[in-house]
Amino acid sequence: MPTLNPINKSFNLQGLCESNFRKIFQLAPHLLNIKCDATAQANGRPELLVRIVDRQRHTVTLELTHHFSLKQENNKEPGLIIRVYLDARSAEVMCRTPRGYSDYQVDHRPSPETVLDYKWTVNYFLEKWLNHCLEQGYLFGRRKNVEMAI
């Protein structure tokens, strides 16, 4: 499977994360008002779910996933934990779920190149997935789907 492999990955990764920030706020313009979780639907397509995992002064950590069946909890794909940096206007994939908060095993330390390759791959995937969701008409924040955070 061909993949995009830029020469200066770290520079391009930053631009990718900034682009993902903008797209997340296009998808969820009222993200900062979502208290716990919200759903979005588009033309009979699988439900898109955002769940707030953590909220700090300058960051919001969220899980974004499609929910393919209301009957089976395990039918959530893809599942990404994303940290949104409000001050830096950037959004970075932290890991895939349900593997836990880190995709790396505790008993080994990946090389910096491996970490950069992983970050590039998952954030590039996020960009393509966000594009797809926006093109399909998904939108969080319709009044009935957003519980206001106080």
CB burial of residue 111 (10 Å; 0-12, 13-18, 19+): exposed
pLDDT given at position 75 = 56
Higher pLDDT, 128 or 77: 128
Q: What is the pLDDT of residues 77-124, one digit of tens each?
A: 578 999 999 999 999 999 876 544 444 444 478 888 888 988 999 999
Do the beta carbons of residue 116 and residue 10 sit within 8 Å?
A: yes
| Predicted TM-score of the model (pTM) | 0.79
Q: What is the pLDDT of residues 30-71, one digit of tens each?
A: 999 998 889 888 888 888 999 999 999 999 999 999 876 655
* pLDDT level of residue 147 (50, 70, 90 thresholds): very low
